[in-house]
Structure 1
Amino acid sequence: MKDQEIPGDFYSFETNTPFERCIECEKYLLHEDTEYIIEKAIKNYEGYPARDVVFDYAICMDCAEKMRREVSKESWQKMMQYFQENMDVQHRIEMQQQSAEENLQSCMIKKTNVNECREYQIYAHCKGNKLNMENPPYMISGEVMEELIPLLSDKTIDEMNGFLDKHFSPDPSLMEPAPPRLILV
């Protein structure tokens, strides 16, 4: 499937428009050859149709790569092993043929429906104002995040939390009980 327009699910919560700048270096992202990642963490409220965005951001590939280098080699290997052991590769290939909206309806790993997740995170690889469908958008449930956290070193968790603390100061009530915070750039 060819690249798609970036859907509103990946717009900035603050502006309800496409992200224009890298959260780290302020690089303009909407030039057609600029690649970047969008990550958004969302909390559902059981029994209610309400959702809250806990955090969202876009980060250029250069800054994302710098962040990846901060993750310990051991932590990175454990995360990659987790995905290799738990991800249905055929399903991931099929996601390239689906719309972004379809890909966000269930967890890429657990297949849990988005409406059944207490918390979840969505990710998109973009180039300019388009989704890169060679690496299609996906959703990861809070359950998967909880399984990933113990695989990470304390140093890696500190690095990830440091990034979030630097850029976000979420309403504490959104974080109770305090879930593990994880970024997967």
Structure 2
Amino acid sequence: MQDEIGGDFNFEDFQYFLSHMEREAKPIPQILYSVYSGAPFSNCVSCERHLQESPILYQVQKVFRKKRVIFEYSLCFECQQGLAKEYSQESTEKLQNFFLENYVMTEDMHECHLCQSQEVEKEHTLLALCLGEKLLFSSTICGLCTEKMQGLLSEQTRKTMGDFIQENFPGVPEELAPAPVFKI
């Protein structure tokens, strides 16, 4: 990303970068398909908007323990932004700073994009930004970095994430914490 944008990047640069990524988009790889359907995610978990035919960005998030998927969902851009707006300002700033200070762009899904650890086989989260049937951006976050990110969250933001999990995944324990949704 540094070659594409030049120098260190901020979120305005990131938005610019994403807006120009569609021309370089790739088909969504099978690892980002739903384990339940064996196909790309078709609907937003929150509003149920159809994602493959909609001209809206969406996020896919899959949490793995060893090689087994233990949690997965897709969330359209509008629902993602609505959720992120409920985060406290403090959490938003801390998450953005953590991401900006640690993120290293790589296409290697077997390496944490925040700490460059290759120890992602124990537990990790795959995050992807998609448009229709195309992958625009993906990132791997190891379990340790996910824990660090969770430690940056205020009580208000933890409650927001807990409510999101309970509303959309009844019965899933709150301690099964996916990576926080970023405000783009």
Q: Same fold (TM over 0.5)?
A: yes
Name stretches of at least 5 consecutive residues in structure 1 with no aligned partner.
45-50, 96-101
Give TM-score scaled by structure 2 length. Answer: 0.78
Matched, 1:70 2:70: no
Counterpart in 2 of 1:118?
A: 122
Matched, 1:146 2:147: yes
Root-mean-square deviation (CA, aligned residues, Å) is 2.1
Instruction: Give the drift of 1:180.
Output: 4.7
Give TM-score scaled by structure 1 length. Answer: 0.78
Moved over 6 A (4+): none
Q: State how 1:1-185 maps to structure 2 within 5 Å.
A: 2-31=24-53, 33-44=55-66, 51-88=67-104, 92=105, 95=106, 102-113=107-118, 116-132=120-136, 136-169=137-170, 180-185=177-182
Question: 1:62–1:142: structure 2 CA closer, same or farther, 3 Å change rule?
Answer: same
Bigger relative contact order (CA 8 A; separation at least 6): 1
Question: How many residues in Structure 1 have an aligned counterpart in Structure 2?
Answer: 160
Question: 1:72–1:23: structure 2 CA closer, same or farther, 3 Å change rule?
Answer: same
2: CA distance, partners of 1:183 / 1:125 = 14
CA-to-aligned-CA distance 1:39-62 (integer Å, 9 cap, x gap): 111111xxxxxx221211111111
2:132 aligned partner, one-letter code = G
- Worse overlay, 30-39 or 140-149: 30-39
2:134 aligned partner, one-letter code = K
Name stretches of at least 5 consecutive residues in structure 2 with no aligned partner.
1-22
Question: 1:84–1:11: structure 2 CA closer, same or farther, 3 Å change rule?
Answer: same
1:155 aligned partner, one-letter code = Q
